[in-house]
Structure 1
Amino acid sequence: MSSGRSAGRVRLKDVADLAGVSMKTVSNVIHDYEHVSAVMRDRVQAAIDELGYRPNLTARRLATGKTGMIALAIPEMDQFYFAEMARHIGEEAGRHGYRILVEQTLSDIEAERAVIRDREEGLVDGVIFHPARIDTLEIARLRPGTPLVLLGEAARPINTDHVMIDNTRAARDGVETLMRGGRRRVAFLADVRGDITESTHLRLLGYQEALIAAGVELDPRLVLTSEGFSLDDGVRAISAAIDAGITFDAVLCRDDLFAMAALRGLSLGGLRVPEDVSVLGWDDTAIARYSTPALSSVAPDKRGLAAMAFELLEERMAGYAGVGRHRIVPHSIVERSTS
């Protein structure tokens, strides 16, 4: 086929002329209207493919009120867990015909408020948001107009959809796994000074519950304090405990980065993993799978989190206006060489 079109941007009319159909028929195929015959759909698609036509998103938004885009707002793009979640949500969006716009808030309260105040209104059809600072009541008061699904533990308003794992149960499972290996002096790395995240609080709660259930006396010295979230901060925290003569035979870490810090600090202190000390990370990120020794880790179902978040968001974007749905996604304990 030859359209005889002029050079430049391919237009809807060019596709219609090449296919020998009306512009309305081409539009119906692009928007996947069901009342188009298979023969006509194939004919129009062949013309689209030959011309390399791409729909004008501005025109699409005006015609349908939809952009085909969703926003993903996360605290840090370079944190392993959030990077992997962004990939899974991007893949999930792609399977449903959406593209994602990724935004980094850096846990700044004003940046998080801007997400809730519909900064992306008109640019995206919905938002998946992992807040760190903004709390439950503030989100409820702001009443975001763009469809919204929350991830994480920081905020759970009753009128907003929310997806997370049971952090307290996961921490209990982690400690119980370590104790089944004969460990009784389980340290927690780390309680970070100035930590604003609810996840650490919930994980510490599960840590204590497991020890009490096992009849192990709580020792506050085993909750190791770190000045920050970096690898160096974690190494200093565990090295300080070793230097102070605090004895422990296992470490439950709040994330895989702290677990890597534990491996380094224990090595510097002359302790072997897992012979002397078992180490359990959290998030089961790539560094857990490829570290030496391979890191055992609490593993949230990240694909499940992404799929559930997108399912709820699609229902919101389709018009669901009920109260918030709060969903718990499974977790597991992946044991490798460090336990």
Structure 2
Amino acid sequence: MSLAMITLFVGFGFLIGILFGFFGMGGSFLVTPALLVLEYPANVAVGSGLAFVFGTSVIGALKHRDHGQVDYRLAALMTVGMTLGIELGKRVVFLLEALGSADLVISVAYVGLLAAVGVFTLWDSRTEVDESGSDLAGRVHSIHIPPTVSLVGGNAVSVWIVLAVGGAIGVLSGLLGVGGGFLLMPAMVYGLGVPTAVAVGTDILQITVSGAYGAFVYAQAGSVALPVVGSLLAGSALGARIGAGATKLVDEGAIKGYFAAMLLAGSLSVGANELGGRLGIEALGTVSIGLVFGATVLVSTAIVFAAICALRHDGAGSWCRLVSS
């Protein structure tokens, strides 16, 4: 790998680290599409995304623990469910690879899932609905199948429901090469009624374990690009600490808004890349790369700026109103 590519991945890793610490996602929802756009094989993109998830999550988990934003019992149960699911998802990936359809299936799945979750989160951030009192969370809390586990905030939920949610997300994680954060965080916030900041910290702790397992099984198959992962981790070490600290300063509505923006940008990027490849339009490939890297730069910069505004209590400034809206 050339020096220019190493520098690019280090810088990209720093920006993703900010997003990871802020959103509780390992960053593979950006890394895997980026590697696909850069024409890495699907299995290598997936495996490298999971390896990056593991390395970054260790840093972020320690920072969120310091802020008291972790539900340890919920993280443990989600880890069990996701570990089982990842193994199944991995098997599906290698089956699709053997059939020669892995790239198409993974790309289409990314577009659909990122778009769906992104649109829903954006709608919620604009309507300012209290997720802890949502109809879905209320119905989940009303299901009394023992044993149950108490969540941070006082609610209780059946252990079997948590395991089922973790297993389903684990299958998608192993299939798409993501730590599951872009699905797990909304599942905890909207489905289980967990406060957003706690969902972020719990998500990161869970990703540490499931990401390690996912990286291990893909590494065994030789599907991890170590120079890429190493460069990304070098940049993300500082970024993750900055992002985690920002969650204490930025309000929950803004967190959801930034989260939705990243998901929608990821969806458009993978969609443009796949369409460009199918139609032979090279310009769409360029648009795809610009969306991935451009959205990462813009959103991470907005997060840092919003945190600085909060520290300065400068809500009256026009720029501060813009990034907080």
What TM-score do the two structures reach when normalised by structure 2?
0.24
What TM-score do the two structures reach when normalised by structure 1?
0.23
Q: Which has the higher contact order (CA 8 A, sep 6+)?
A: 2
